Amino acid sequence: MIGRLKGILLTKQPPTLLLDVNGVGYEVDAPMSTFYQLPDVKQEVILHTHLVVREDAQQLCGFATEAERRMFRSLIKINGVGARLALSILSGISADDFARCIQDNDTATLVKLPGVGKKTAERLVIEMRDKLKDWHTAIPGSSQGFEGMIEVGHTIDPVEEAVSALIALGYKPPQASRMVTQIDSRDLSSEEIIRDALKASITK
């Protein structure tokens, strides 16, 4: 099991990044909550990781904080929630806010997340309520991510990259395009566009 990676960030194209660890390139899928905290390319980064092994593939997932990984591991234990959906959920809402939704039975917010319908939201609340009842006391400072690292830089075509990332997260192409066009994307990086688009979709 690969539990931690420390290396140089080579590329970042949400939801996938490439990390050079002593000459070996690791492709890592990460939620947008982690992408928001990544440094510029060619900078060093440390990720908490979880290796998902399936019959047809292996998927390495990376997280900025131990809390995110812990939440991811809790999510994939729920029937019907795979790695892709778990990453999409953590892209649309922070681990702390998700825990609050579960504790408050807030299915109205959960159904706004990509890939989460009414039945899935209800199942998440029912099956995770007891598991997350001590969430905010279990990991002090659970929202903290990379320390002392700079904000991500601008990409060549941030709008197009943002739309592609939203599609990869589970949104349909027309919906992803609409989400991006509804915000002011001038002078924003792709990660900032995605963050604002996801935030707007949750608060509607």
Q: What is the CATH number of the domain that holds 197?
A: 1.10.8.10
Print the domain residue range for 96.
78-136
Q: How far apart are CA 121 and CA 112, in angstroms?
A: 10
Count of the separate structural domains present in the chain: 3
Whether the predicted pLDDT of 171 surpasses 60: yes
Compute the distance between CA of residue 161 and CA of residue 16 in angstroms, rounded to an integer: 12
Please indicate, yes or no, if residue 148 is contained in any of the structural domains: no
- Cα separation, 141 vs 149, in Å, equals 17
Helix, strand, or coil here: 63? Answer: strand
pLDDT of 2 over the 80 cut: yes
Q: What percent of the chain has pLDDT over 90?
A: 50
Are 131 and 85 in a shared domain?
yes
CATH number at residue 18: 2.40.50.140
Give the relative orientation of helices 158-168 and 173-181 as an angle to the nearest 10 degrees. Answer: 140
Q: Is 50 exceeded by the pLDDT of residue 180?
A: yes
Are residues 169 and 131 part of one domain? no
Q: Which of 13, 31, 63 is the last residue of a domain?
A: 63
pLDDT for residue 139 is more than 80: no
- Token couple for 179: 């989400």
Residue 150 has pLDDT above 80, yes or no: no
Residue 200 has pLDDT above 50, yes or no: yes
Mean pLDDT of the chain: 85
Residue 57 lies in a domain: yes
Highest mean pLDDT among 24-28, 57-61, 79-83, 165-169: 24-28
CA-CA distance, 31 to 150, in Å (whole number)? Answer: 18
The pLDDT of 125-141, averaged and rounded, is 74
Asked whether residue 12 is domain-assigned, the answer is yes
Query: For the domain that residue 99 is a member of, what is the CATH number?
Result: 1.10.150.20
End-to-end CA distance of the chain: 40
Looking at 12, 39, 63, the residue that finishes a domain is: 63
**Per-residue pLDDT tens digits for 66-103:** 999 999 999 999 988 999 999 999 998 989 999 999 99
- Distance from C-alpha of 153 to C-alpha of 37, rounded to nearest angstrom: 11
Helix (H, G, I), strand (E, B) or coil at 28: strand
Report the distance separating Cα 103 and Cα 101, nearest Å: 6
Mean pLDDT to the nearest integer, 26-53:
93
pTM given for the model: 0.75
